[in-house]
A and B are shown apart, each in its own frame.
Chain A
Amino acid sequence: MQKDSVQQKPLRHRGSFLNDPRIVPYVLVAPFIIFFLVVYLYPLIMTIIMSFQKIDGPNHREFIGLKNYLKLDTRDFRLALQTSGRYAFWDLIVLTLVPLVIACILHSGLAKGSAFFKSLFFIPSLTSIIVAGIVFRLAFGTLETATMNRVMIALGQKPIKWLSYADSGNFVLILLTLWRWNGVNIVYYLSGLQSIPTDYYEAAQIDGANAIQKFTHVTLPGIRPVLIYVITITVLGGFSMFTESVALWQQNNAGGVGRTIVGYMYMVGFKKNNFGLASAVGLTLLALVVAVNLIQLVLMGFFKKED
């Protein structure tokens, strides 16, 4: 008897306040709210405030208006902008297209052993860029005995000081990036390709579409959400790249070759203790990433309502 009466109590009031189904979702998302306030919102506001300040030691701050931003007009920062911009541009082209081609081939089953290649391509993504970068750094070394210079000599070319120039340095960076991130983007694309129903392809076949038409009219629209995601994170990763550059040049590269925006920010903030200027650099980076991504999202039709 008693048992029954317990069970007939309205379920909603069972237990404490925290068990109320109207409260539960707020308890569930609470960690993110706290995290957002402490790790994102507060630091973001602080960065904005600091970018208008001159900071000497923890207790001496002074508002100096736009002076930090005006100080950005230096050779070092322009070089960093160029380095990051050049890298972001090639990163976007190479890291969206190459994995897409590979994913399409793997998905089509045209190549033998697709499952094997699928897991193999992911392995470089498991390694540390710093650790793997050591190999790239040595292979593209300055000396004639460096691996790639041996290849150049064997091909009848002159050896190159790969990491001493902006363009060849960027080439090595992109190669390292492709090596490291290719597998990740392949997995993203494969997930998109697998979500396309096969009858779409059959319908296109019946309509007499050739391979290229199938790709542009079925595959591309089908993977659009994934494509947008990949492009967005690639733009973000491209402009805020730091680790790859450290892997090839450490933090002290002569003439600033390979120093990125974040590298510059790190140098100004942590090595020269100029937090105000470093904050201005950070916010410039944020503006750049947001602007490029907004343009990209508009071009890709992200904000268009689906019909």
Chain B
Amino acid sequence: MASNRIEGKKRAVLSILATALMVLFAIFAMVPFAFMFMSSLKPGAEMMRYGLTLKFDPGISSFQNYTALNTYRDGVYWHWYKSSAIIMVMQTAIGLFFSSLVGYGLAMYQFKGRNLVFSLVLIVMMLPFEILLLPMYQLMISMKLMNTYFGAVVPYLVPPFMIFFFRQYCLGIPKELMEAGRIDGCTDYGIFWRIMVPILIPAFGAMTILSCMNSWNNLLWPLIVMQDEKKFTIPIGMGTTITPYGNAYDVLMPGAVMAVVPIIVIYLFAQKTFIAGLTAGSVKG
């Protein structure tokens, strides 16, 4: 009895410590957003003088800066936004389509060369793509894909990481479902489309968010492909608002907030599917 009570007390203390630690990390995770939002309401001159502050001053704070996004360099910000959105949708749709088929094929079929293909997927996952930039750049020039949206997604058409994920996820699907489909007269592609895709929805959900996230935030490859200022993505464009001659704070902060908002909204809506899908199919050996 007595030892139980001590155990209980110990657990209560541990619980408080653990919760405190979590709160600390939660503050760390959220503080930059607070700075970002509070600064987006202030005039740029104020930022230049006092730096980032969390202070809210009703006299000078307003959503005025957000309208500056429409006028800054003839509204170029919204071109970046559009460019980012097009690339994100293309990259996600194409990437999900191909990688789910490949992952499914690797998991559900026995065929000669399967291990070789899977090994290639694993090797490619561990290869820094950055080292292939120069020949890829030359390839884009010779294929006339420079400054095109398609050119910006070429390295992400069949993402190996997603193949890996879909393969792991499909390993958990009973093969009898395939047999049942065949007996019903489905072609193998029909089986994938009608039987497997519905089962794979959590996997598609998780990979959609991950792909959107990667694409929306990608810097290096679009930086190389996109040369026309109006075709810049948000990360490239935002970089150009910081110059050695002074930073365009008036657009920097509202631009940052607007860049962050859509993806967080998607996440808040889909987070249950996302976390569940990601943990269910994740890395198991």
Known: A32-B98, A134-B242. A128 touches B130 (CB 8 A): no
Residues of B within 8 A of A38 (CB): 139
A136 and B135 CA atoms in complex are apart in Å by 34
B6 on interface, CB distance cutoff 8 Å: no
CB distance from B173 to the nearest CB of A (A): 15
Q: Interface residues of A toward B: which range?
A: 35 or more
CB distance from B247 to the nearest CB of A (A): 8
- By DSSP majority rule, is chain A's interface helix, strand, loop, or mixed? helix
Question: How would residues 1 to 29 of chain B score, 1 for a CB under 8 Å from any chain A CB and 0 otherwise?
Answer: 00000000001001100110110011011
Q: Is the CB of B127 within 8 A of A40?
A: yes
Known: A32-B121, A131-B234, A240-B130. A117 touches B263 (CB 8 A): no
B278 on interface, CB distance cutoff 8 Å: yes
Known: A40-B127, A122-B267, A123-B267. A28 touches B109 (CB 8 A): yes
Chain A residues packing against B (C-beta within 8 Å): 7, 11, 14-15, 19, 21-22, 24-29, 31-33, 35-36, 38-40, 42-44, 46-47, 50, 58, 102, 105-106, 108, 110-114, 117-132, 134-139, 141, 143, 145-147, 150, 179, 182-183, 187-188, 190-192, 194-195, 225-226, 229, 232, 236, 239-240, 242-243, 246, 250, 252, 262, 265-266, 269-270, 275, 278-279, 282-283, 285-286, 289-290, 293
Question: How would residues 31 to 48 of chain B score, 1 for a CB under 8 Å from any chain A CB and 0 otherwise?
Answer: 011011000000000010
Residues of B within 8 A of A32 (CB): 98-99, 102, 117, 120-121, 158, 160, 163
A195 and B101 CA atoms in complex are apart in Å by 26
Chain B residues packing against A (C-beta within 8 Å): 11, 14-15, 18-19, 21-22, 25-26, 28-30, 32-33, 35-36, 47, 49-53, 98-99, 101-102, 104-106, 109, 111, 114, 117, 120-121, 124, 126-128, 130-139, 154-155, 157-158, 160, 163, 182, 185, 187-189, 213, 216-217, 219-220, 224, 234-235, 238-239, 242, 244, 252-253, 255-256, 259-260, 263-264, 267, 271, 275, 278-280, 282-285
Residues of A within 8 A of B124 (CB): 36, 40
CB distance from B90 to the nearest CB of A (A): 15
A139 and B51 CA atoms in complex are apart in Å by 8
Given contacts A132-B32, A283-B131, 18 further A-B contacts (CB under 8 A): A7-B185, A19-B187, A19-B188, A31-B158, A32-B163, A39-B136, A105-B18, A121-B25, A125-B213, A127-B259, A129-B217, A130-B219, A138-B47, A141-B51, A147-B52, A229-B283, A262-B128, A282-B134
Known: A26-B111, A145-B49. A121 touches B126 (CB 8 A): no
A47 and B139 CA atoms in complex are apart in Å by 12
Q: Is the CB of A111 within 8 A of B22?
A: yes
Q: Is the CB of A120 within 8 A of B135?
A: no
Known: A32-B163, A127-B263. A250 touches B239 (CB 8 A): yes
Q: Is the CB of A124 within 8 A of B238?
A: no
Q: Is the CB of A119 within 8 A of B271?
A: yes
Known: A28-B102, A147-B52. A42 touches B283 (CB 8 A): no
Nearest B residue (CB) for A237: B128
Nearest B residue (CB) for A24: B188
* 8 chain-A/chain-B pairs, Cβ below 8 angstroms: A11-B182, A127-B217, A134-B238, A143-B51, A269-B134, A282-B134, A289-B126, A289-B128
Residues of A within 8 A of B189 (CB): 19, 24
CB distance from A264 to the nearest CB of B (A): 11
Q: Is the CB of B271 within 8 A of A122?
A: yes
From B51, B101, B279, A187 is in contact (CB under 8 Å) with B279
Nearest B residue (CB) for A230: B283
- By DSSP majority rule, is chain B's interface helix, strand, loop, or mixed? helix
Residues of B within 8 A of A126 (CB): 213, 260, 263-264, 267
Residues of B within 8 A of A183 (CB): 29
Residues of B within 8 A of A58 (CB): 138
Residues of A within 8 A of B282 (CB): 187-188, 191-192, 226
CB distance from A81 to the nearest CB of B (A): 15
Residues of A within 8 A of B255 (CB): 131
Nearest B residue (CB) for A35: B158
Q: Is the CB of A47 within 8 A of B158?
A: no
Residues of B within 8 A of A135 (CB): 32, 35-36, 52, 256
Q: Is the CB of B263 within 8 A of A131?
A: no
Nearest B residue (CB) for A297: B126
A52 and B260 CA atoms in complex are apart in Å by 43
A285 and B134 CA atoms in complex are apart in Å by 14
Q: Is the CB of A102 within 8 A of B35?
A: no
Nearest A residue (CB) for B35: A135
A58 and B216 CA atoms in complex are apart in Å by 33
Residues of B within 8 A of A179 (CB): 28-29, 32
Nearest A residue (CB) for B111: A25
